Chain A
Amino acid sequence: MIPSQQKSDPPDSPGSVGWTESATCRLFDEGNPFPLESGGFLSPVDMEYETYGQLNATRSNAILILHALSGDAHVAGWDRNWKKTGRSWRAQKPGWWDAMVGPGKPIDTRRFFVLCANVLGSCCGTTGPSSLNPKTGIPYGTRFPAVTVGDWVTLQARLLDVLGIQELFAVTGGSLGGQQALEWAMAFPDRVRRVLVLAASARLSVQGLAFNAVGRYSILQDPRFHGGDYYGEAQGPSSGLAAARMLAHITYLSEEGMHRKFGRRLNNRESPEFSFGTEFEVESYLDHQGRAFVKRFDANSYLYITRAMDYYDASEKWGGGDLVAACRRVRSQMMILSFASDWLYPPTHVRDLALALCRVGRPVTYVNVPSSTGHDAFLIETEAVGGLIRPFLECPESAL
């Protein structure tokens, strides 16, 4: 996603959670392997997570934040250990939702105990294709099992068991994180009181499936992909992964947003060079995004996580294809936000989810946030989003 345009709070500022450290928890091991939704078992399963704020005496103030495709557990604050872990990209900027999470911020860490865990199959601390397979002693690569949104939520619930949290005050996330939030509402209706879904609907559109397919294609066709066994080599399928990221970035923006941000301006020159280099500003931007991404993300993880995104369909999973039937499971207070220029999860699809909840008598709030910044708006429009999240977390609970 686009790096936030706002100035970030330094670690010693009152609105920052400050220096952060992650923790890792072994949720499943050889004697107790994790049963996957796709069939089969996986062990061990280690999960990296971060927490901010204090759990209260009644253990009733926990908010679980769910990250999107390329996200990680580092939601807010500044990574104290970035040198030790080699995550140099964290040196210059705080966590991915720092504008929303911190003391006095919309998700107020003075009041709430906030946690976020990296998803299974990712490459940011939780077990994934780049982890060593204990049976072979080499990384799983594409021998890693298929993972699903359902698996992620099951594992998050398991982590809460370990931490002694029976019920969440709220879950929230955007994009693929929003789909996890929805899955929480349906899979564990009695364990979460408020659910806030941003820029996500019950399933990815066909257009979204198509974009993901092209992204994977460019990785799979990269000559350095080697069937997923590129670990330890000088260079993996970085050009394929960069191309996938560049394409994805186009889907995170909007025509109007790109026009405003770049126009048709040339990149640092007055007249065209008549070359195939980065002639236009937008090319330079995409090039930068591609290069930055391959430094921090694993191509195999990209394949697995986009597939999880493709497969997820709340109506299929919980309603036999009927979203309204699926919504009957929901017991939480729901708020669902779409963004006007989002064409990855278009407002009409997001609204259908809200209306399905309304149809079965669930109290639901749906807002279409005006924005020209496309899908990324859920990260960029912090004022508008914060202006809805804060009152949603503070408002009285409505009866079902």
Chain B
Amino acid sequence: MNPTPSPGKESGDLHAARAEIIRAAAAILRELDPSLGNTGLEKLIDRTPETRPDSAPLSGERWQDRVIERELAHGATLLDLGCGRGELLSRLILQSGIRGQGVELDSDSVVDCVRRGVPVLQMDIDRGLQEFPDSSFDYVLLEDTLQTLHKPLQVLQDMLRVGRHGIVSFPNFGYWRVRISLALSGRMPRTEHLPHRWYDTPNIHLFTLRDFLDWSESAGVQLVSGFARSEKGVRPLQPEDNLMAEEVLLFLCGSGKSKTTVI
């Protein structure tokens, strides 16, 4: 993948984000000092008409699923960690000829997997994947699961050991609306995609895209390709996506493989 930053020309949604962030900063300043009228910050907002994107169409199917279905070669083997009710795996197995194996802890979800004909191991991936030998799958997938694990680092390392490639998707806590939500409300951010309260959220390890890329660089993990879902829809990962992406999907490999730097 070769992302092309567009210097000088700011995209519409980046522009909108900038404006809202400035308004948020001004609101915080006023909260600190209610006597403050105009903070002056608002002047920074370029008054060009807002191009509010058509609010991202969301079907029940996860966008990551469509990208994964497109990217995987027929006949590839896939281990889906935290496969849930097996929707993705069943499509991959029945329609795309993928040799898929799921791992899931939740009993009701496991029954749904069985119903779909998805082979599933009821196991706690937080307790390690040491039973799985090196490079035993073409791909190991952690879709929207990493942030729910007690030992995310261990699982990531195992994932890249067991799979020739790792696929990981997660909500980006650097997304600008999340930042604003925290900054403005002074409470843990709740958005459309992060609807939980602090005490009932399954998301126990919160990180941003940049945090993840920092880790992967230090760990010698290479980003093969990446995709982001922003308010405009799904597209290849862009340099500004630590701010703009609500969720990201990354294809990774351990070390010694083709390297593409994205950010």
Chain B residues lying within 8 Å of A400, measured Cβ to Cβ, are: 99
Chain A residues lying within 8 Å of B222, measured Cβ to Cβ, are: none
Chain B residues lying within 8 Å of A354, measured Cβ to Cβ, are: 121
Beta-carbon contact of A363 and B131 below 8 Å: no
- 1/0 per residue, CB under 8 A from B, across A352-373: the answer is 1011001101011111101000
Beta-carbon contact of B111 and A391 below 8 Å: yes
Partner of B94, one of A358, A367, A396: A396
Beta-carbon contact of A398 and B119 below 8 Å: yes
Chain A residues lying within 8 Å of B101, measured Cβ to Cβ, are: 358, 363-364
Beta-carbon contact of B115 and A394 below 8 Å: yes
* A126 to B93 alpha-carbon distance, docked (Å): 43
For residue B208, CB closer than 8 A to chain A, the reply is: no
Chain A residues lying within 8 Å of B123, measured Cβ to Cβ, are: 351, 366
**Which among A361, A366, A368, A398 has the greatest number of chain B C-beta atoms within 10 A?**
A398
* A153 to B37 alpha-carbon distance, docked (Å): 87
CB contact under 8 A between A366 and B99, given known A395-B115, A395-B116: no
- 1/0 per residue, CB under 8 A from A, across B95-114: the answer is 00101110000010011011
Closest to B79 in A: A358
Closest to B115 in A: A391
> Chain A nearest CB: distance from B80 CB in Å?
12
* A333 to B118 alpha-carbon distance, docked (Å): 10
Number of interface residues of A (CB under 8 A): 28
- 1/0 per residue, CB under 8 A from B, across A375-400: the answer is 00000000000011001101111111
3 smallest A-B Cβ distances: which pairs? A363-B119, A395-B117, A391-B115
Give 21 CB contacts A-B under 8 Å.
A334-B119, A351-B121, A352-B131, A355-B121, A355-B131, A359-B132, A364-B101, A365-B119, A367-B110, A367-B114, A367-B122, A368-B122, A370-B107, A388-B111, A395-B115, A395-B116, A395-B117, A397-B117, A398-B119, A399-B99, A400-B99
CB contact under 8 A between A358 and B115, given known A363-B101, A365-B120, A399-B99: no
Chain B residues lying within 8 Å of A351, measured Cβ to Cβ, are: 121, 123
CB contact under 8 A between A364 and B115, given known A355-B131, A399-B93: no
Chain B residues lying within 8 Å of A388, measured Cβ to Cβ, are: 111, 114
Beta-carbon contact of A335 and B77 below 8 Å: no
